[in-house]
Chain A
Amino acid sequence: MRWNAFDTPVHDSQRVYRQLLSAMAEPGTFAQVSGAPLAPPGAAIGTACWATLLTLCDLDTRVWVSPELNAAGLGEALTFHTGARQTDRPEEADFALVIPATLEGSAECEAPAFQEGSDTYPDRSTTLLVVLDCLDAAGPWTLSGPGIPGRRRLDVGQGGEALMMRLAANRARFPRGLDAILTCGTRLAAVPRSTRIIRSASEEVDVCMSP
């Protein structure tokens, strides 16, 4: 089995990092991760997500992988290429690989309690790496705050409710909170904890404006 990684790790990871940095600095803008390696076979993640893992993870980081995404090839490839340790305790994860449904929880098990950091060290928190089926502008979620001139719209597809409500809850606990890197195929965006999120009532406005 072949686990793909960057052809030139130094320059490729730098390029992806700058896309991540811009995405985090300007929430609701999108980057196209081109020329990135394909994700390990069997792993239900796109190239943008795999490139992000390769860029940010190393032996200092612990990664929590949601059961829905946990494939044998993924864990092994991640360990092989980055040395990152996998953890099954969400509260000690530096990165959590999730799908929106992961944050919903269910009757028998609660949604995983990721690390939000403390008021004195809010940076010691989990960054969510979200795998989405749809990532677009002009959706029902309106973003404002640092990095956003005025407002931006975001669509994370069906079932994104739990994810966006969780991220919207960040505001009340600021500076503690979760930051999210959203990925869909080769596309990525980010929603840091500083972003104010509201669900727009006027969804029909978008329908009218679409050609």
Chain B
Amino acid sequence: MTASDPTASGYNFAYLDEQTKRMIRRGLLKAVAIPGYQVPFGGREMPMPYGWGTGGMQLTASVLGQDDVLKVIDQGADDTTNAVSIRAFFERVAGVTTTTATGEADVIQTRHRIPEQPLRQGQLLIFQVPIPEPLRFIEPSEEETRLMHALEEYGVMHVKLYEDIARHGHIATTYAYPVKVDGRYVTDPSPIPKFDNPKLHMNEALMLFGAGREKRLYAIPPYTRVESLDFEDHPFEVQEWDDPCAICGARDTFLDEVITDDRGGRMFVCSDTDYCQSRTEEVA
């Protein structure tokens, strides 16, 4: 390995062996054909622990091509630990070009956010998913939840949201907010803030979800109906902030609260660093 050729040798392209890629690829085709349904797959051990995005990485490794431009984000940011290490991983094992610009990427692997800039047709958005089963916290048995999905038995999900209302006066679920895909499967959108849920609906990009520890993958095809579960008298709502982004002034983005000192000082900034930066450059 030299500085001019940082690609690691001794690995297959994009780390995974071809047999594994084919298994995941076949699974993804079924996932796309049955939107929102969780396809079991033979998850492989990746060179990082579960919980760091091994599911998303296996999907990325299976679909990535040598001409693709890859972007990796973690909570919207390109420069956080998880994003930096996964990006470096694919630079080394696949030798692909990487970018931080949402518009220039062909494949975007994401942890817990959907970029603010609307995605376009042909782009792939790959989510890292910790717990793919939206019914898991209500029903611990996999056999039972599988049957509930088969029978479209989703009443308990509404009971859970109702309990929120009974206890807090509103639906208190703020992330991993359950959705119904194409009017059939109740699906976990991964722990994205519910602010991002409306972006799932009729998105132009293909969205793939991979859970490494739970060994499940699923998909939401482009131009697909995705509804966030709610009630007529308690309709689904997204978060709002009183202040604009302290850096770029945006009022329509998801904001992170940043503590600035130990005397209660704080500021709100865009969680999508690329979007924030491009807005700042436009103004300048």
Contacts and interface: CB of A to CB of B under 8 A. Distances in A.
A193 B12 CA distance: 34
B34 A175 contact: yes
Contacts of A122: 30, 34, 37
A21 B206 contact: yes
Main DSSP-derived SS at the A contact region: loop
Interface residues of B, number: 43
A175 B37 contact: yes
Nearest to A11: B66
A14 B146 contact: no
Contacts of A149: 202, 223
B246 interface: no
A189 interface: no
Nearest to A61: B26
A65 interface: no
Contacts of B30: 122-123, 125, 127, 179
A92 interface: no
A69 interface: no
Contact of B33 (A14, A94, A121, A194): A194
A19 to B, nearest CB: 11
A114 to B, nearest CB: 14
Interface in A16-42: 17-18, 20-22, 24-26
Contacts of A11: 13, 65-66
Contacts of A55: 22, 25
B222 A26 contact: yes
Given A56-B22, A56-B26, A24 B32 contact: yes
B34 A25 contact: no
Contacts of B225: 146
B223 A123 contact: no
Given A11-B13, A18-B63, A120-B147, A148 B223 contact: yes
Contacts of A193: 33-34
A192 B65 contact: no
Interface in B27-61: 27-35, 37, 39-40
A15 B185 CA distance: 30
Interface in A48-74: 55-61
Nearest to B223: A149
Nearest to A179: B33
A172 interface: no
B18 interface: yes
A153 to B, nearest CB: 16
Contact of A22 (B149, B151, B206): B206
Interface of A: 9-11, 13-15, 17-18, 20-22, 24-26, 55-61, 94, 118-123, 125, 127, 145-149, 174-175, 177, 179, 192-194
6 contacts: A11-B13, A15-B65, A26-B221, A26-B223, A146-B224, A147-B222
Given A13-B18, A14-B65, 14 more contacts: A9-B18, A11-B65, A14-B13, A18-B65, A24-B32, A25-B221, A25-B222, A58-B22, A59-B19, A120-B150, A145-B182, A147-B224, A194-B34, A194-B221
